[in-house]
C-alpha cells in the first residue's frame, strides 16, 4: 500500500467507512496532505465505495479543496462586507504586490499561497488577513513585510 | 401519507380540469392530460431536477399566486395553474436569452432550443456582450449526468466545478469501459454536444481537461 | 472524574457541588478568548496573567478564566474582573503585572478603563459602559462567565436545567406548545416560526427524524453564530436536545463552517463533556429519551448553508439546493423529516423553557418577539456583537450603542440581511428593528449582519460587491441565478468603470424580476435585493455614474482621480515617498503633483497626506486641473 492509500485507509476508518462522511474525509485528507492528489481521490472512491464522479464533484465544488499542492504558508485576505468597507481590496492589492501573486496562486518556490475568503467572522477587526492560522488586523506595510520575511 | 393509486386529485390547468394521482407533479399530470409544458432538463426516467426553469408556471391557491417549477411541484386539490401568461412568457424568454451564448453552435441553436426561442421571441444574441462566454454547446441541464447515474448506473459522466465554472465531464477510466455499448446520454442531450464531441471511445471533454483548465 | 447525572435531583446536586467547590470571595479575572480578541493577542494576555498570578503568589487569591467572545470586539483584548465586573479594554500582555496586582488589592488600573468618547469620563463597570448598558443580553450574556471548554461553568449557571424540566416535567407536546406560544422566529435569515416548523416535523410520518444546527453562517459581515458556538456551545446543545425531544428525533447534526476552527473545537469538547455527564447518549436524566449528535464541517461554499443544500452535504453529497416544494421538515436528510434551525434560534430555546413563553413575549414587538444578536460592524465607532430587544430602532443601535460614525463622517446607509438584504438610508434610521419592519422597506433582518456605511462608500459598488459575491458562490445549477448574476455583475462593473448606459437600469430590473420569480433557491430569488434597494434609495448615484461618469463617493477607481492642491501642498515629500507607482513628482520646497499617466488610483497619497495639510483631493466627474509649472515653489510653509 502506498503512503497515500494508507492515509486514506486511516481517515476512512476513523469515519467508520461512512459514505455520508465523504466531505469530512476529504477535509481530513486536504489537511493531512496539503492538497488532494488524484491517487487519493481514486482511493477514497474505492475505499468509501462512492462513484469517482461524486468524489470529483464534491472535491471541485468546495473552496477548501485544492488539486495542486499549496505553498508552505497560506496567506488569506478576507473580502467580507465589513472588511470590504474598511479597505480589504487595498490590503489585497498590497499583499498581492508584495508576494507577487494573484489570489489563488502559489509561488514557484512553494513558499506562499495567496487566497481570498468571503468572511472569517472577525468583522470588527477588518480588514483581516490570516497567515498560517494567525490573524492580523489591518496590517501595515511594515507588518506585512515582517510577516513575509519571517515565513520560511 | 402516500395515498393508494385510487386517490384522485382534481385541479385546473389553463381553465381545464385535470385529474392526478397522489404524488404526481403538475408536469406529469399535464402530460397525462395532453397539455404540453415545455421543459429542457426533464426526463421521465430521472428525478425532477429544476435546473432550466423553463417549465415554470403560475400556481394560484387561496388568492395567492406564485411561480413554481411544474416538474417538481406536487399536484394539489384546488390549484389553479396557468402555463402561459406575460409573467411566464417573460421568464421563458429570459432563460433562453441568458443561456443562449453558451448553448449555440456557429451562432445558432439547434432543434428544440431553436423552436422554443422562436416561439417565445427570444433574442439569442441579446446578452452576448455581457456574458462573454465561450460557446460550449451546453446548458448544464444535467440530463446526461442524471441519466447515467439514475437510469444506467454507470457513473461515467459527472458535474465538476461550481457556479459559472460548472461543467460536465466524462471520466475516461470508467467511460472507456462502458460508454461504447450504451450511448444513452448521446440521444438525450438537447444541444447535441455529446454527439458532436464524443463517440463512445473518444471523449472530447474529460475530468482531466477540467483540471487542466481546458473546459 | 466526571459525574454521570441521571436525574433532576442529581443535576441539582451536581450544580450545588460545583458551586460549593468554588470560592465566591475570590475575584475571577476573565480574559476574552474569542477569535477577535485572539487576533489582538488574547492567548498572550492570558498566559501573562497566569504567569503573573504565579509570580505574585496569588493562586489562592485569584482565579483566571478564558471565556468566549464578550462582544466588544473593537476594544480587544477585553478583560473583565468578577464579581464587580470591572472592565479593562485593549489589554496587552505587558499590562499583566499591574492588572494582577490591582485585582488582588481590589483597586483599579485607571489607564486600562474604557473612556467615554463624548464625556471623556472613565467607566469602570462593564454594565455601565453605553455599549453594554443599552443591550439586553439574555442569550449572549453568559459568554463572559463561561469557559467553553469547562461544562461545570455552564452547569453552575443553571445549565441543562431547562432540559431537565422539559424531559422530566413536560411532555413533548407541552414543549412544542411552549415554543409555539413564544412565537420564536428563526434567527438565521428566514424568520420562519420555529414552533410551526417543529410541529410539521413532529407530525410528519416516519420513525426516524433529525434535528440540525445550521452553523454555516455565510453572510459576510455576520459572526454572531461563531461567537455563540465558540463561547457557549452547551446552550446550543441544550436547545437542540429540547427540540429533539419535542419533535421525536434521536439523532442530530451540527453543520459548522470550516472557516470556524475554534467553534468546531469547542463544540467537540462540549459534546464529549456532555456525553461524560450523561446529557447526551441513552436515557438522559433518567427520562428514557436518548440522543446523539454528529458534527459535519463545511468546506467553503456559502450556498451550502441553504437548508436543502446543507442536508445534501450531510448525506455526503455535494451541497447544492434542491426544489423544496415538499418541505424538508417532511422530507429532508435521506427523505426523513428533518428540522433545521440556526445556532441562535437553538440557543434561545432553553431560556423559553426555563422562563416561559410569556416572559419571552414580554420582550420585543408584536411580530418579532425576544431579542436578536447583531454584528454591528463597518464605519461605526463601537464595532462588535450587540444583543437588543426587537423593536429598538436602527438609530438607537447605531448611535446609542455603536457610538456613531467613525472619524465624525456622515452616515450614508446601513446594510442588513447580507447578500439577500438591502441598504437602508438615513430616512429609515428610526425604523424599529423587526422581521416585518425591515422587509417592508425592501431589506430584511437576515442572520444579523449590520454593516454601517458612510459618505465614502459608493452604493453602486456595494451592489456590485454583493452581486459579485453571489456570482462566485452560486451553485450554478439553475439558469436564472447562474447566468442572471453573471450578466448583472458585468452591467454593474461596467457602470462602476464608466461604461454604463441608461438602458442598463431597465435590464437590471428585468433580470432581477426573472431571478426573483424563477430561481431554484433563495440565493437566486433574493440575489437582486442589494441592487434593487440601492436603486430605490440611492438612484441618484446610479445616474451620476451612468450619465455624468461621476462617482459621488469618489470611490470607483475608473471614475476618480487624485490631485494635489498646489495651494495646500507643503512639499513634505510624504506622499512622494509612499507612492507605490512613483507617480508623484516634486522635491523639498517644490510643489508636488501627480502624474496621471502613472497613477494607479491606489489612494495611498490621500491617506498619508497629514490631516493638517489635506492637500490631496479626489476628483470625480470633472477634468483634473493641469500640473503646476515645473519648479513652482510652495505657497504654504511646511510646519516643523
Residues C552-570: pLDDT tens digits?
999 999 999 999 999 999 9
Out of C472, C490, C517, the one facing B91 most closely (by C-beta) is C517
- Burial of C567 per CB tally in 10 Å (0-12, 13-18, 19+): exposed
**Does residue A46 belong to the interface with chain B, where contact is any CB pair within 8 Å?**
no
Cα–Cα distance measured from residue A42 to residue A33, given in angstroms and rounded to the nearest whole number = 15
Which residues of chain B neighbour C475 with C-beta distances below 8 Å?
Answer: 162-163, 166
pLDDT bracket for residue A125 (50, 70, 90): confident
The H or E element that residue C274 is part of is: helix C261-276
Which residues of chain B neighbour A62 with C-beta distances below 8 Å?
Answer: 162
Fold of B8-82: Ubiquitin-like (UB roll) (3.10.20)
Beta strands in C14-139 (DSSP E): 28-32, 63-67, 79-82, 86-88, 114-115, 122-123
Cβ within 8 Å, pair A120-C301? no
Residue of C182, C170, C150 whose CA lies nearest to C289: C170
**Does residue A135 belong to the interface with chain B, where contact is any CB pair within 8 Å?**
no
* pLDDT recorded at residue B3: 46
Rounded average pLDDT over A88-101: 90
- ipTM exceeding 0.90? yes
Specify whether C332 is located in the same domain as C391: no
Specify whether C356 is located in the same domain as C376: no
Domain span at residue C103 reads 22-133
**Does residue B128 belong to the interface with chain A, where contact is any CB pair within 8 Å?**
no
Which residues of chain A neighbour B142 with C-beta distances below 8 Å?
Answer: none
Specify whether C492 is located in the same domain as C607: no
- Tell me the per-residue pLDDT of C299-327, one tens digit each, with 9 for 90 and over: 999 999 999 999 999 999 999 999 999 99
CATH of the domain at C375: 3.10.20.600
Below-50 pLDDT ranges, chain C? 640
Specify whether C428 is located in the same domain as C351: no
Cβ within 8 Å, pair C226-A121? yes
Cβ within 8 Å, pair C469-A118? yes
Rounded to 5°, the CA angle C102-C106-C112 comes to 45
Residues 6+ apart with CB under 8 A from C211: C201, C240, C243, C244, C247, C249, C251, C252, C253, C338, C339, C340, C341
**Does residue B171 belong to the interface with chain A, where contact is any CB pair within 8 Å?**
yes
User: How close, in Å, is residue C582 to chain A by CA atoms?
Assistant: 15
Residue C604 counted as domain residue: yes
**Does residue C443 belong to the interface with chain A, where contact is any CB pair within 8 Å?**
no
Out of A51, A61, A67, the one facing B162 most closely (by C-beta) is A61
Range with the poorest average pLDDT among A26-30, A101-105, C164-168: A101-105
* pLDDT recorded at residue C495: 98
CATH of the domain at C231: 3.40.50.11540
DSSP string, C387-410: EEETT-BHHIIIIIIT-SBGGG--
User: How close, in Å, is residue A39 to chain C by CA atoms?
Assistant: 20
* pLDDT recorded at residue B2: 47
Residue C5 counted as domain residue: no
In chain A, the domains with their CATH numbers are 3-61 (no CATH), 73-150 (3.40.30.10)
* pLDDT recorded at residue C636: 67
pLDDT (tens, 9 = 90+) of chain B, 215 residues, equals 444 555 689 999 999 999 999 999 999 999 999 999 999 999 999 999 999 999 999 999 999 999 999 999 999 999 999 999 999 999 999 999 999 999 987 777 777 899 999 999 999 999 998 888 888 999 999 999 999 999 999 999 999 999 999 999 999 999 999 999 999 999 999 999 999 999 989 999 999 999 999 99
Specify whether C435 is located in the same domain as C464: no
User: How close, in Å, is residue A55 to chain B by CA atoms?
Assistant: 10
- Tell me the per-residue pLDDT of C258-295, one tens digit each, with 9 for 90 and over: 989 999 999 999 999 999 999 999 999 999 999 999 99
Cβ within 8 Å, pair C299-A118? no
Cβ within 8 Å, pair C487-B48? no
User: How close, in Å, is residue B52 to chain A by CA atoms?
Assistant: 20
Place of cell 448553508: C305
Cα–Cα distance measured from residue A114 to residue A101, given in angstroms and rounded to the nearest whole number = 7
Specify whether C382 is located in the same domain as C426: yes
Out of B67, B127, B161, the one facing C518 most closely (by C-beta) is B67
Specify whether C244 is located in the same domain as C172: yes
How many domains in chain C? Answer: 5
Cα–Cα distance measured from residue C17 to residue C411, given in angstroms and rounded to the nearest whole number = 53
Specify whether C356 is located in the same domain as C223: yes
Cβ within 8 Å, pair C378-A135? no
- Classify the phi-psi angles of B38: left when phi > 0, otherwise alpha if psi is within -120 to 50, otherwise beta: beta
Q: Please, which chains are in contact with A (at least 3 CB pairs closer than 8 A)?
A: B, C
Specify whether C253 is located in the same domain as C330: yes
**Final residue belonging to a domain, choices C547, C574, C606:** C547
* pLDDT recorded at residue A14: 97
Out of C217, C259, C318, the one facing A117 most closely (by C-beta) is C259
Domain boundaries, chain B: 8-82, 87-131, 143-211
Amino acid at each position: 500500500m502506498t503512503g497515500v492509500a494508507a492515509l486514506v485507509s486511516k481517515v476512512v476508518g476513523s469515519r467508520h467507512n461512512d459514505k455520508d462522511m465523504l466531505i469530512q474525509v476529504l477535509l481530513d485528507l486536504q489537511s493531512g496532505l496539503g492538497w488532494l492528489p488524484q491517487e487519493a481521490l481514486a482511493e477514497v472512491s474505492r475505499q468509501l465505495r462512492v462513484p469517482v464522479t461524486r468524489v470529483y464533484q464534491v472535491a471541485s465544488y468546495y473552496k477548501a479543496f485544492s488539486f495542486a499542492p499549496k505553498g508552505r504558508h497560506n496567506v488569506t485576505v478576507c473580502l467580507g462586507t465589513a472588511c470590504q468597507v474598511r479597505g480589504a481590496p487595498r490590503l489585497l492589492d498590497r499583499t498581492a504586490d508584495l508576494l507577487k501573486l494573484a489570489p489563488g496562486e502559489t509561488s514557484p518556490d512553494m513558499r506562499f499561497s495567496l487566497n481570498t475568503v468571503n468572511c472569517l467572522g472577525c468583522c470588527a477587526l477588518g480588514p483581516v488577513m490570516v497567515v498560517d492560522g494567525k490573524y492580523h488586523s489591518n496590517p501595515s506595510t511594515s507588518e506585512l513585510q515582517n510577516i513575509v520575511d519571517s515565513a520560511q | 401519507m402516500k395515498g393508494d393509486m385510487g386517490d384522485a386529485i382534481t385541479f385546473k390547468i389553463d381553465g381545464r380540469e385535470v385529474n392526478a394521482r397522489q404524488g404526481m407533479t403538475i408536469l406529469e399530470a399535464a402530460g397525462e392530460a395532453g397539455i404540453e409544458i415545455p421543459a429542457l432538463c426533464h426526463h421521465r426516467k430521472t428525478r425532477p431536477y429544476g435546473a432550466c426553469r423553463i417549465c415554470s408556471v403560475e400556481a394560484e391557491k387561496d388568492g395567492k399566486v406564485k411561480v413554481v417549477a411544474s416538474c417538481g411541484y406536487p399536484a394539489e386539490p384546488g390549484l389553479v395553474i396557468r402555463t402561459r401568461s406575460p409573467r411566464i412568457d417573460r421568464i421563458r424568454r429570459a432563460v433562453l436569452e441568458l443561456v443562449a451564448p453558451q448553448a449555440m453552435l456557429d451562432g445558432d441553436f439547434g432543434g428544440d432550443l431553436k423552436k422554443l426561442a422562436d416561439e417565445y421571441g427570444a433574442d439569442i444574441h441579446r446578452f452576448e456582450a455581457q456574458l462573454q462566454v465561450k460557446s460550449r454547446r451546453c446548458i448544464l441541464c444535467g440530463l446526461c449526468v442524471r441519466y447515467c447515474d439514475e437510469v444506467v448506473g454507470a457513473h461515467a459522466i459527472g458535474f465538476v466545478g461550481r457556479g459559472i465554472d460548472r461543467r460536465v465531464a466524462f471520466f475516461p477510466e470508467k467511460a472507456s469501459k462502458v460508454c461504447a455499448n450504451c450511448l444513452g446520454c448521446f440521444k438525450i442531450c438537447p444541444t447535441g454536444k455529446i454527439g458532436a464531441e464524443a463517440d463512445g471511445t473518444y471523449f472530447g471533454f474529460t475530468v482531466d481537461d477540467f483540471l487542466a483548465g481546458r473546459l | 472524574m466526571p459525574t454521570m447525572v441521571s436525574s433532576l435531583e442529581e443535576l441539582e446536586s451536581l450544580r450545588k457541588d460545583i458551586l460549593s467547590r468554588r470560592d465566591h470571595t475570590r475575584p475571577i479575572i476573565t480574559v476574552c478568548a474569542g477569535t477577535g480578541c485572539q487576533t489582538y493577542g488574547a492567548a498572550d494576555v492570558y498566559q501573562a496573567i497566569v504567569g503573573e498570578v504565579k509570580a505574585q503568589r496569588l493562586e489562592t487569591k485569584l482565579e483566571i478564566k478564558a471565556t468566549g467572545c464578550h462582544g466588544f470586539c473593537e476594544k480587544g483584548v477585553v478583560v473583565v474582573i468578577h464579581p464587580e465586573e470591572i472592565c479593562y479594554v485593549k489589554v496587552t500582555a505587558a499590562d499583566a503585572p499591574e492588572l494582577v496586582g490591582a485585582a488582588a488589592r481590589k483597586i483599579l488600573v485607571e489607564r486600562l478603563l474604557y473612556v467615554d468618547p463624548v464625556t471623556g469620563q472613565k467607566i469602570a463597570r462593564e454594565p455601565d459602559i453605553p455599549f453594554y448598558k443599552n443591550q439586553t443580553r439574555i442569550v449572549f450574556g453568559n459568554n463572559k462567565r463561561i469557559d467553553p471548554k469547562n461544562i461545570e461553568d455552564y452547569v453552575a449557571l443553571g445549565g441543562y436545567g431547562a432540559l431537565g424540566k422539559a424531559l422530566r416535567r413536560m411532555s413533548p407536546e407541552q414543549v412544542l406548545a411552549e415554543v409555539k406560544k413564544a412565537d420564536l422566529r428563526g434567527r438565521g435569515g428566514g424568520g420562519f416560526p420555529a414552533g410551526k416548523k417543529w410541529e410539521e416535523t413532529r407530525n410528519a410520518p416516519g420513525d426516524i427524524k433529525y434535528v440540525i444546527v445550521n452553523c454555516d453562517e455565510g453572510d459576510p459581515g455576520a459572526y454572531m453564530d461563531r461567537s455563540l458556538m465558540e463561547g457557549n456551545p452547551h446552550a446550543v446543545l441544550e436547545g437542540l436536545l429540547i427540540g429533539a425531544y419535542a419533535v421525536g428525533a434521536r439523532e442530530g447534526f451540527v453543520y459548522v463552517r470550516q472557516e470556524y476552527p475554534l467553534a468546531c473545537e469547542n463544540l467537540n469538547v462540549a459534546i464529549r463533556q456532555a456525553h461524560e455527564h450523561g446529557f447526551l447518549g441513552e436515557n438522559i436524566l433518567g427520562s428514557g429519551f436518548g440522543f446523539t449528535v454528529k458534527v459535519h464541517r463545511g468546506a467553503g461554499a456559502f450556498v451550502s448553508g441553504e437548508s436543502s443544500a446543507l442536508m445534501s452535504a450531510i448525506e455526503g453529497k455535494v451541497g447544492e439546493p434542491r426544489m423544496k416544494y415538499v418541505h424538508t421538515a417532511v422530507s429532508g436528510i435521506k427523505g426523513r423529516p428533518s428540522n433545521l434551525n440556526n445556532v441562535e434560534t437553538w440557543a434561545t430555546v432553553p431560556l423559553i423553557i426555563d422562563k416561559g413563553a410569556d416572559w419571552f413575549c414580554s420582550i420585543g414587538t408584536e411580530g418579532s418577539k425576544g431579542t436578536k444578536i447583531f454584528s454591528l460592524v463597518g464605519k461605526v465607532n463601537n464595532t462588535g456583537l450587540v444583543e437588543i430587544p426587537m423593536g429598538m430602532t436602527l438609530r438607537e443601535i447605531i448611535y446609542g450603542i455603536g457610538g456613531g460614525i467613525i472619524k465624525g463622517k456622515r452616515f450614508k446607509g446601513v446594510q442588513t440581511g447580507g447578500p439577500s438584504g438591502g441598504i437602508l438610508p438615513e430616512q429609515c434610521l428610526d425604523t424599529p428593528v423587526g422581521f416585518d419592519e425591515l422587509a417592508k422597506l425592501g431589506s430584511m433582518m437576515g442572520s444579523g449582519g449590520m454593516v454601517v456605511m458612510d459618505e465614502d462608500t459608493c452604493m453602486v459598488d456595494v451592489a456590485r460587491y454583493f452581486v459579485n459575491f453571489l456570482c462566485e458562490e452560486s451553485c450554478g445549477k439553475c439558469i436564472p441565478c447562474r447566468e442572471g448574476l453573471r450578466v448583472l455583475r458585468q452591467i454593474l462593473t461596467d457602470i462602476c468603470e464608466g461604461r454604463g448606459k441608461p438602458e442598463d437600469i431597465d435590464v437590471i430590473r428585468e433580470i432581477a424580476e426573472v431571478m426573483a420569480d424563477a430561481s431554484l433557491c433563495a440565493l437566486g430569488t433574493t440575489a437582486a435585493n442589494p441592487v434593487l434597494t440601492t436603486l430605490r434609495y440611492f438612484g441618484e448615484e446610479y445616474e451620476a455614474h451612468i450619465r455624468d461618469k461621476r462617482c459621488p463617493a469618489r470611490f470607483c477607481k475608473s471614475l476618480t482621480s487624485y490631485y494635489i492642491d498646489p495651494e495646500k501642498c507643503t512639499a513634505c515629500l510624504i506622499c512622494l515617498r509612499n507612492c507605490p507607482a512613483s507617480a508623484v513628482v516634486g522635491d523639498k520646497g517644490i510643489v508636488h503633483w501627480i502624474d496621471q499617466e502613472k497613477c494607479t488610483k491606489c489612494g495611498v497619497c490621500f491617506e498619508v497626506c497629514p490631516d493638517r495639510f489635506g492637500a490631496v483631493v479626489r476628483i470625480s466627474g470633472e477634468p483634473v486641473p493641469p500640473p503646476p509649472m515645473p519648479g513652482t515653489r510652495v505657497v504654504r510653509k511646511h510646519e516643523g
